[in-house]
Amino acid sequence: MRVHGFVRVAVTLCALNARARADDPLPSWNERASKSAITSFVAKVTEEGSAYFVRPADRVAVFDNDGTLWCEQPMYFQFLFALDRVKALAPRHPEWKDEEPFKSVLAGDPKSLAAGGEKAAAELIAATHAGMTTDEFNAAVKEWLRTARHAKYNRPYNRCVYQPMLELLAYLRANGFKTYVVSGGGVEFMRAFAEEAYGIPPEQVIGSAGVTRFEERDGGPVLVKDPKVLHVDDGPGKPAGINLFIGRRPVMAFGNSDGDLQMLQWTAAGPGPRFALLVHHTDADREYAYDRQSHVGKLDKALDEAARRGWTVVDMKKDWKRVFPET
């Protein structure tokens, strides 16, 4: 009987354990403080009658994109798109082979390119992101995602998304949250893949934006992308973008760099329960390790602020069982 009883208990425990795993909405998160901070917050704000209850209409969660939902190394993917786009457009621009910054891009000379600084970057973005219709740009991004591969992972860039964050997005939506991307990246660049990659529809993607111009053409009206910047959705531009596009303060905010600091501050400063989280890139093997000194995704002031305010900081190496989805 004792043996029988032990077996029965063991079987029951195994079954419970399997059920717990099957029921676990965040299977790629290790059982550590970050995970329980998330799940206990969500439990608290979704429990009707609780003092912390947040009505469904107010359940807004905002996510930075580069370095938070997808990888941003060795360089912001949108910049890699711009470089590839220069190469693709070069046959139509014979003058580029003698003109900087295009010359350096075409010659594959990152050093001279870097010497051009922000001015060069702005020229590249203008040449590759403007002077075409919104439909043409969308098609160009989709074609690039279909064909280009990340050098380290040899997979399409839109598969270099973080599996634990995909689970988190789905988990929040299952709990009545409306999930938004709020990123310094270009809004039209991100909308070309956000719905498929993250389950986030275009109207919930907020980003940097240029001016578009309505034009009547033979085939009907079009919107043409002008090289003029309308909104820079980075740093203090993030709360401004949230206010402009959403018009209400988020309850949860997720970022990974100093560019997300004001978004997290703005979110955390609201009345009632608020949640702020930073992804700390600590995993040089499976991904990249960088923070205070990085040129891409610098995390310095926000890391200090997180310590001061008690925000959740994800240690990618320790907190995540896996980084990317299967292939």
Residues that bind a copy of itself (CB under 8 A): 57, 134, 178, 187-188, 191, 201-203, 205, 209, 211-214, 216, 220-221, 223, 230-231, 236-237, 239-240, 243-248, 262, 265-266, 269
**Chain-centre distance of CA 159, in angstroms?**
12
Q: Residue 7 is encoded by which pair of tokens? A: 């077996």
Pick 188 or 291: Cβ nearer a copy of itself: 188
Pick 90 or 223: Cβ nearer a copy of itself: 223
Judge contact between 261 and 184, C-beta under 8 A. Answer: no
CB atoms within 10 A of CB 68: 25
Q: Name the minimum Å distance from CB 212 to a copy of itself.
A: 5
Q: Name the minimum Å distance from CB 168 to a copy of itself.
A: 21
Q: Name the minimum Å distance from CB 57 to a copy of itself.
A: 6
Burial class (CB in 10 A: 0-12, 13-18, 19+), 313: buried
Q: Name the minimum Å distance from CB 252 to a copy of itself.
A: 16
Q: Name the minimum Å distance from CB 190 to a copy of itself.
A: 9
Pick 88 or 223: Cβ nearer a copy of itself: 223
DSSP string, 224-247: EEEEEEEE--STTHHHHHHHHHT-
Nearest-angstrom CA–CA distance, 60 and 72: 24
Nearest-angstrom CA–CA distance, 301 and 284: 22
**237-250 b/e with 16+ CB inside 10 Å = b?**
bbbbbbeebbeebb
| Closest C-alpha among 249, 117, 231 to residue 185 | 231
| Closest C-alpha among 129, 45, 150 to residue 82 | 129
Pick 286 or 309: Cβ nearer a copy of itself: 309
Torsion-angle region of 199 (φ positive above 0: left; ψ -120 to 50: alpha; else: beta) = left
Q: Name the minimum Å distance from CB 154 to a copy of itself.
A: 30
Pick 178 or 280: Cβ nearer a copy of itself: 178
Pick 91 or 221: Cβ nearer a copy of itself: 221
Q: Name the minimum Å distance from CB 204 to a copy of itself.
A: 8
Pick 211 or 284: Cβ nearer a copy of itself: 211
